[in-house]
Amino acid sequence: EQAPPLPPRASNEFPPPQPPRPVIDTSDTYEIKKITWHDFRAAQNPRVSPILVQNANGPCPLLALVNALTLSTPPNVETALVETLRSREQVSLGLLLDAVFDELMSGRRGNVAQGLPDVSDLYGFLITLHTGMNVNPRFFPPGSTKAAGDPLSTREDELSPGTFEGTREMKLYGTFSVPLIHGWLPEKGSQAYWALKRTAQSYEDAQNIFFHEEVLEEKLRTEGLSFEEQAVLEDIGTIKAFFNSAATQLTTYGLEVITTSTAPGSIAILFRNDHFSTLYRHPETRQLLQLVTDMGYAGHEEVVWESLIDVNGENAEFFSGDF
């Protein structure tokens, strides 16, 4: 009896079809604003780029990511994302997600997307970015290793902006190769610095250690504390004072670190006040500028940037994009 024929070998020429993308509500839309700004990479300035302005959900990581992607796109490169926004006055969430997904899979942001275990997992993650993203800010970097192409300083003897715990969400967000940073940092050598270094190197660590405060205080009243317990209780008080003094999740020291370590002309995403914003360091003035995405300024073409020069925004100024 003749053996049945072998099944055909898999061909690399025709990759397997991608898994179906989750069904989403496409009724949500984002307004699009065309900004005129000075891009030092462009042969001709000013340059016109489309950006998203906030919708009813307010500032979110998806909006900051999309705007960072459009502004960091080289002036002589056409992408599906830029073309999708340039040709419209508003865009549905569904169409926007498709364009962002295509941007990643195009390979222009590197080949990191090819190593993801599940394409549908990434697309599902993009959907959740519409409403927010859980992050755990670290007060000290986990190591000196940085991704290739990161425009931030890479020398170990230089200061680095705040990083985040390496969660699944951070890994997926990192596939776009846009730095996500914060300036919620204690000044080196300060009491807060040493207390956080000893007891809580991330925000979640601090929240967990706070649960022990009441127990330690009760033990202090009834039987006394050991040397180690007394040190932990003192650290808790110091850390709480640090949080109260940095209510905007940005310190003066952290702002200085971001300013000096961010390369002129580069784009990053700043986490501050539980919000995400697109950050740009002007190549000539060396100022830190946040992209203005408030709906109230959508009709004001002359308002593009807001300066980031203090932790509370008391001295912030608005700028046009072509200065």
Residue bearing the bigger pLDDT, 59 or 105: 105
* Distance (Å, whole) CA 166 – CA 159: 20
Digit-coded pLDDT (tens) for 56-79: 655 589 999 999 999 999 888 888
Whether residue 95 contacts residue 122, with contact meaning beta carbons closer than 8 Å, is answered with no
Digit-coded pLDDT (tens) for 131-147: 889 999 999 988 533 44
Sign (positive/negative) of CA torsion 90, 96, 102, 108? positive
Q: Assign 233 to helix, strand or coil.
A: helix
Query: What's residue 154's pLDDT?
Result: 41
Whether 208 shows a pLDDT value over 80: the answer reads yes
Whether 115 shows a pLDDT value over 50: the answer reads yes
Whether residue 183 contacts residue 257, with contact meaning beta carbons closer than 8 Å, is answered with yes
* Distance (Å, whole) CA 36 – CA 109: 24
Mean pLDDT of the chain: 84
pLDDT above 70 coverage of the chain, percent? 82
pLDDT band at 45 (very low <50, low <70, confident <90, very high): confident
Digit-coded pLDDT (tens) for 290-318: 999 988 888 888 899 999 999 998 999 99
* Distance (Å, whole) CA 199 – CA 239: 9
Digit-coded pLDDT (tens) for 230-278: 999 999 999 999 999 999 999 999 999 999 999 999 999 999 999 999 9
Query: What's residue 12's pLDDT?
Result: 41
Query: What's residue 40's pLDDT?
Result: 86
Query: What's residue 111's pLDDT?
Result: 60
Terminal alpha carbon distance of the chain: 82
